[in-house]
Structure 1
Amino acid sequence: MADYQITVAPNGARRQKSDHPKLPITPLELAQTASACQAAGAKVLHLHVRDEAGVHSLDARRYREAMAAVRAAAPGMEIQITTESAGIYPPSAQLACLQALRPQAASIAVREMAQDPAVAARGYALCAENGTEVQHILYGPSCIAQLVAWYAEGVVPVQMRGVIFVLGKYAPATPAQPQELAPFVTAARAMDLNWSLCAFGRDERACLLAAIKAGGNARVGFENNLETPEGALLEDNAAAVAALVKAASEAGHNLKRT
């Protein structure tokens, strides 16, 4: 039996309502989704915001509006913003987002920040100064190696041990498989990381159950997957959370809600 917590990632940077009618885009939709997912067992909301055209945004005003709506609808739910570039924003814009918001928690992609090491150092220092809980996004061995180097060089404070490993890809579509987890688990144990997993494709749940069994936490939601293991569309993000909680409980694992 393992203890674990759930983060829900309800929309991501790219998917639209044409992909699923219940993909939340607006602050109201995000708030309603957060409330339903909190009730289903999610402790943390991984938040992306969009502009009027539905395009991924790092705009601080949009973030503040969405966060206020979520806090009102889901009191006590932790909010983690993303600084993901989505091929749109350079590291300087990602840093500006962190400077403007000074968030409680933020996910930061190592491979994106590595494009500008000086900006990266400023970003991590800012997060340390503000007490922002950083979750490093790690896509593979090169990202892990970069994080190891940054720990050694002092670019990333050694106490920032939170990471999320990513299995599979959005584009080109590459479904995740549970057996791909092993090298990440090895790295997590060697580096003493507090780790989570997200996984693209309909085998998301199987991948997350493998992560929980190995001592990790789970991130579930429409950012990474819209389908049941059988290939049907999930009803909504809360259904994805509830299905994971049920499967993990049946496997003997214990959900941490607080």
Structure 2
Amino acid sequence: MLQACLNGSRTAEEHPALPLTPERLAEDAADVAALGVTSVHFHPRDVIGAATLAGPEIATTIATVRAAVPGIEISVSTNVPGNRLAVIASWAPLAAGRPDVASVHVDDPGWRELAQALHQVNVGVELVVESVCDLGPVPPGVTRITVTATPQTAEELLRQVEPLGLPILLHGRENDAWPVFTYAVRLEHHVRMGLGDTLRRPDGVLARNNAELIATARRNQRSKAPS
């Protein structure tokens, strides 16, 4: 699987093509889906551009993206301040405005309760692991483990999560994004790329948009994948 991370926690000032509104997210989702992406991950925003999990904003964003790319997996971040458990509980009646998957960082206090809240509203859980920790029994509803790594930490983190027997998405950020992407391709793990992870192509040049990063990632996949 190649996932596109469309915006992350970035601000509009960081890149002119960063998609923040529902319409822009839908446009970018359609562009990357045409390049072979089967999952998109993003941080939904409110009208002033702040990250949000509120039902009306989530419903509008998800429904707009889903209309542009029906059938593609839509994943959102839960890394926002506030009473996330109560807000997620309000997602239950959203139907087409509910994401397929939401990410939960295991470094966050109360991550198990957050995973349970998502499971109760029929949203899959993408556990995010960035450091060595004791995961214990994996909560119900977890669909995969997303490992955020550097070239130096990837091997150790993979040793921790591989025994869980779940699909693994391995990715890096900023200067580590492309080296970790190449490493993940060679190991045949799921991968991701996009402006949420890095603003630059492998040659260091600022990417025009998400589509350029994904097109580059696809070429990298084809050239580095085991034969």
Asked if these proteins are the same fold (TM beyond 0.5), I'd say yes
| 1:66 maps onto 2:39 in alignment | no
CA distance in 2, matches of 1:64, 1:58: 9
Kept after mapping to 2: 8 A contact 1:45/1:77: yes
Q: In the aligned structure 1, how far is the partner of 2:47 from the partner of 2:66?
A: 22
C-alpha displacement at 1:18, in angstroms?
1.5
Contact 1:195 1:216 (8 Å CA) reproduced: yes
Aligned to 1:116, which of 107, 110, 120? Answer: 110
Within the candidate set 53, 59, 71, 1:76 is matched to 71
Query: Equivalents in 2 of 1:126, 1:57: separation in Å?
Result: 16
> Which secondary structure does the structure 2 equivalent of 1:49 belong to?
coil
1:194 equivalent to 2:167? Answer yes
Q: Report 1:97-246 matches (<5 A).
A: 97-102=87-92, 103-112=99-108, 115-116=109-110, 120-121=112-113, 123-142=114-133, 145=134, 147-148=135-136, 150-151=137-138, 156-157=139-140, 160=142, 162-167=144-149, 176=150, 178-246=151-219
Q: What is the alpha-carbon distance in structure 1 between the residues aligned to residue 223 and residue 4 of structure 2?
A: 20
Assess if the C-alpha contact under 8 Å between 2:20 and 2:49 holds in 1: yes
Q: 1:128 to 1:67 in 2, by over 3 A?
A: closer
Contact 2:29 2:40 in 1 (8 A): yes
How far residue 202 of structure 1 moved from its aligned partner, in angstroms, is 3.3
Cα distance, 1:130 vs structure 2:
4.2
Query: C-alpha displacement at 1:197, in angstroms?
Result: 1.7
CA distance in 2, matches of 1:137, 1:116: 14
Cα drift, residue 162 of structure 1: 1.3
User: 1:16-36: per-residue Cα shift (whole Å, max 9, x none)?
Assistant: 221110000111100000000
- What is the distance in 1 between the residues matched to 2:38 and 2:121? 22
Q: TM-score, normalized by length of structure 1?
A: 0.78
Distance 1:244 1:51, change over 3 A: same
How many residues matched?
A: 221
> Secondary structure at 2:160's aligned position in 1?
helix
Runs of 4+ with >4 A deviation: none
1:128–1:66 Cα change, 3 Å: closer
- The Cα offsets for residues 173-192 of structure 1, whole Å up to 9 and x where unpaired, read as xxx4x243111221232222
DSSP-derived class of the 2:175 partner: coil
- Structure with greater contact order relative to length (CA < 8 Å, sep ≥ 6): 1
1:171 aligns to what?
Answer: none
Distance 1:46 1:253, change over 3 A: farther
Deviations 1:190-245 (A, max 9, x none): 22231102211134122112112223111211111101122211111111111111
Contact 1:202 1:230 (8 Å CA) reproduced:
no
Structure 2: segments with no counterpart, 5+ residues: 93-98
* 8 Å Cα contact 2:8/2:196 also seen in 1: yes
Specify the code of the residue in structure 1 equivalent to 2:47.
E
CA deviation after TM superposition for structure 1 residue 42, in Å: 1.1
| Contact 2:3–2:192 (Cα < 8 Å) also in 1 | yes
Aligned to 2:107, the other structure's residue is in SS state helix
Query: What residue in structure 2 maps to residue 10 of structure 1?
Result: 6
Tell me how far apart the structure 1 counterparts of residues 226 and 121 of structure 2 sit (CA, whole Å): 34
